[in-house]
Amino acid sequence: MRIRLPWIMAIAVFIALSTLTYAQVSINYINISIYSNNTSYTQTMNITGNHLLIPTYQYCSSQENYILFNAYLDPLSNLGIVSVSLVLYNGSYISAPINYSPKYVSAVINCSIPIYGVYLNIGSYPPYPLEALVLPGSNTTYTLTQGSINISIPSIPGLNYLFSIVRVISISPATASVSNYLTAPINTEYSNVNIGSLSTYAEITTYITYSNNISVSADGTTYVIVTPYYYAQINNPQGFIIPTSEQPIIMLTGAPWIKYSVSNCTLINPNIPRITPWTNYLSYSPSCTVNMSVEPITINFIGGTLQKLTCNNVFITTQSGEIMGLSNSITVNPVSDRELYLVINGMRTIGIFLNSIPTTTITIPVPLISRTSISIMDELGNPINTVLYLNANGTLLLFTNDTCIYPGNYDIYALINDKLMNLGTQYIAQGSSLTVPVLSNYVLNVILPQQCPNLSLQLIVKYGDRNYVLPLTNNSILLNISNALIGDYIQVYLLGNGSLLYQSLLKVNNNSYGSIELEPHIINFVPVDLLNNELPTAILNVGDLYYEGPGRYCIPINSTVGLVIYGNDIYVVNVTGNRVYVRIWTLGALGIKSLLIILGLLTLLLIIMAILKGLSDNGDSGNDYYIIK
């Protein structure tokens, strides 16, 4: 910015603020500096109310007689320091000589006085221009003997009121006081004054007031001399008549992010207070040239967890129309870009008004939430890691660690088992915990109470798109299923030699443990011959399974008939019951042996009967017996 100063121009700027969807963030910082024992202590405080109490007692040591207290606001701030007081330990207030403006306070604190801290009263106050011409007005003297008087500072067309220097001369033993709203004493002295031809002793107190109305109370003869100062903002030169005979002063208000370079200008001390710590006064000359450069300020954005935010779905728009992504920090022009808007998922959501920027780096907390600031639990309260989607403005937003949202109600979807689960509408805020009706580690206990002999058993468990294939070598097996949804069904299959022996459904309840018993159809196979002897070589065929000899066998599910094969003979049997008893028209090895024994016994019996008959025909008595042992 380059300024030539042959004329003066005053400009009023009005800015129309857009209506925000959710929130507005106003940044009003004040910078506090305390100098003690050649050490500086600096703190930037966020103004959240109308009062600030800054403790200073801890900086007074036994080696220190005085400490220096400084506090300043941005000159472009819409706030001002209305009044300044020192607070004693007993809670009472006293005033102290200070350098004072609504944007800047500098006070020397006497450590021998029991002062607890500095009390600042904050109120609304218009901003100051960074560069202006200051012109003193005419002195006006008021005489007061008793009571009070209200004094209004006159206005001058084309100029803006800046402040007034007020000298209150109380002729001893008179006393006088000035109301302290936007007013502060500069110094007090006692000396002889000449009033006409008389020389008398008086108390002279000099005040500075930024109010255009002051009230003076007196008890005795008091003279009040008011010297007002006005300013005109410097801008592009245009013809302008200075409405005063006084020589104007160039005032460069400045800020931490403003650098000035001047040529053909004379630095002066007009004995008026500085508006900011960086205020400089130059003697006005048409040849004086002022060059101003603005250094960008750095803004760090933090969330509710006080961590820096990186949000790939958030953009920042400025007054100048620039669009920036929110990635930890941004740099803006503190003169032209004092209104920022956070656009989240294409919607202007948060307005940030930089009302006060007292330093070159500031940190702004914004109520944005990232994925890391919320927790997700399963039904039993165990943390789970799952992908979340939010319905934002009609589109599904992938909610990741680099994604930020504004607190509010959202339709939430969780990606469970490669499918989106609708969790309904829930309110998401900082530290929220979402519950997904899922068991992150569900344990399934599969039990086979009775063995299936002669078969290679295999267990197949299906859940959603996942298949678990396990050999079943014992009576039970434990299976861990991750992310099992409550209310879903788990399918369990038992296979023997590839044939389906049993199947069942298990509903997942809200317990992390489930159990299921396998109950395949088991039949008792009893093949016998004509003599009711078991046939160990008879074969039972059901489906693709073959069993040899009698025994208890598992048969395929839903089987109704089977085949019994013995030699070339085939018998069709019903296998829906628990027992298959088959009499085969044959004699087994044991049956033939039994038949030979019977035939032998019958032959022996016939021989004995024939012998007995012959003896009966040749003997003389029927009472003789031969016992063959």
Q: Is 556 exposed, middle or buried (0-12, 13-18, 19+ CB in 10 A)?
A: buried
Instruction: Assign 391 a pLDDT band (cuts: 50, 70, 90).
Output: confident
Task: Give the residue-averaged pLDDT of 284-303.
Answer: 88
**Token pair recorded at residue 230:** 């006005």
Mean pLDDT of 614-623: 46
Residue 536 backbone class (left: φ over 0; alpha: ψ -120 to 50; beta: rest): alpha
Confidence label for 150 from pLDDT (cuts 50, 70 and 90): very high
Contact present, 122 and 46 (Cβ < 8 Å): no
- pLDDT above 90 covers a percentage of the chain that reads 48
pLDDT on residue 281: 95
In the structure, what pLDDT confidence band is assigned to residue 254 with cuts at 50, 70 and 90?
Answer: very high
- How many CB atoms lie under 10 A from the CB of residue 53? 11
pLDDT digits 0-9 by tens, 408-418: 899 999 998 88
pLDDT of residue 244 exceeding 60, the answer is: no
Output the CA torsion sign for 344, 26, 251, 280.
negative
Contact 480, 442 (CB under 8 A): yes
The Cα 273–Cα 107 span in angstroms is 13
Phi-psi region of 226 (alpha: psi -120 to 50; beta: other; left: phi over 0): beta
Highest mean predicted confidence (pLDDT) among 4-18, 190-204, 532-546, 596-610:
532-546
- Mean pLDDT computed over 244-269: 87
Instruction: Give mean pLDDT, residues 107-126.
Output: 91
For residue 285, which amino acid is it? S
pLDDT mean over 552-576: 92
Structure tokens that stand for 591 in this block? 């049956």
Q: Is the pTM of this model over 0.85?
A: no
The CA distance from 5 to 3, in Å, is 6
Residue matched to tokens 């021998």: 112
- What are φ and ψ of residue 108, in 5° steps? -100, 120
Cα–Cα distances (Å) from 359 to 70, 201, 255, 533, in that order, read: 14, 47, 8, 107
pLDDT digits (tens, 9 = 90+) for 520-543: 999 999 999 888 889 999 999 999
The two tokens of residue 198 are 């008389």
Helix (H, G, I), strand (E, B), or coil: what is residue 57? helix
Sequence-distant (≥ 6) Cβ neighbours of residue 131 within 8 angstroms: 3, 233, 234, 250, 251, 252, 253, 290, 292
Residue position matching structure tokens 């960086």: 278
